[in-house]
Amino acid sequence: MIVGLTGRNASGKGTVAAWLESQGFGYTSLSDAIRIYLTENGKETSRDNLIAAGTALRQEGGPGVLAERTLPRIAPGVDFVVDSIRNPAEVAVLRRRPDFLLLEVAADEAMRYQRLALRSRAGDAQSFEEFRRQEAAELASGDPSAQQLLATAALADVVVQNDGDLQALHGALTLLLPMLRKRVAR
């Protein structure tokens, strides 16, 4: 089974991915292809550079290029989580596998900003206004190569609401995983 993750910034995608890894899933991120590209070109892997390079790679290779680069590395019959799905074309590529499901991790804006402030990652917004500005740029675009978080989320097979604490999220995932496995087995 391949569980793809999408969601807005600081919604808890990484936490969901880590939990799935603890359940025996392999891990990859579509952003890894961008990080490799940036490193090869001597650029810092800041949030702004990741977004710009992701858009450039999609313009050069098509909107699904990051998934195209990732899918061959996932062996059939192996459980995997694929993080950082931000474009509907990436979902279309991953759906070539009949064992793929897209999971949206959703959380309230204020909760996401609080989490972002606590994690203090390089490139994260330094104010609530900057956080909202960054997010607005990621939600939708007329450029099919840009991030399209709203359109991608609309393709989700399942939504996990992550407004509580870690224990609540783990409890929800524990209940959800057997249901996901049944859906794939159909």
Q: What angle do CA 14, 183, 140 make, to 5 degrees?
A: 50
What pLDDT sits at residue 46? 86
Tens of pLDDT, residue by residue over 66-102, are 999 899 889 888 999 999 999 999 999 999 999 999 9
The enclosing domain of 149 has a CATH number of: 3.40.50.300
- Residue 160, beta-bridge partner list: 105
Q: Which two tokens stand for residue 62?
A: 């098509």
pLDDT band of residue 119 (cuts 50, 70, 90) is confident
What pLDDT sits at residue 129? 93
What is the span of the domain harbouring residue 22? 2-185
Instruction: With a cut of 80, say whether residue 6 has pLDDT above it.
Output: yes
CA distance 27 to 18: 8
One DSSP character per residue, 36-82 reads HHHHHTT----HHHHHHHHHHHHHHH-TTHHHHHHGGGS-TTS-EEE
The domain total for the chain is 1
Q: Which two tokens stand for residue 19?
A: 């939990």
Model confidence, pTM: 0.89
Q: Tell me the three state secondary structure of residue 28.
A: strand
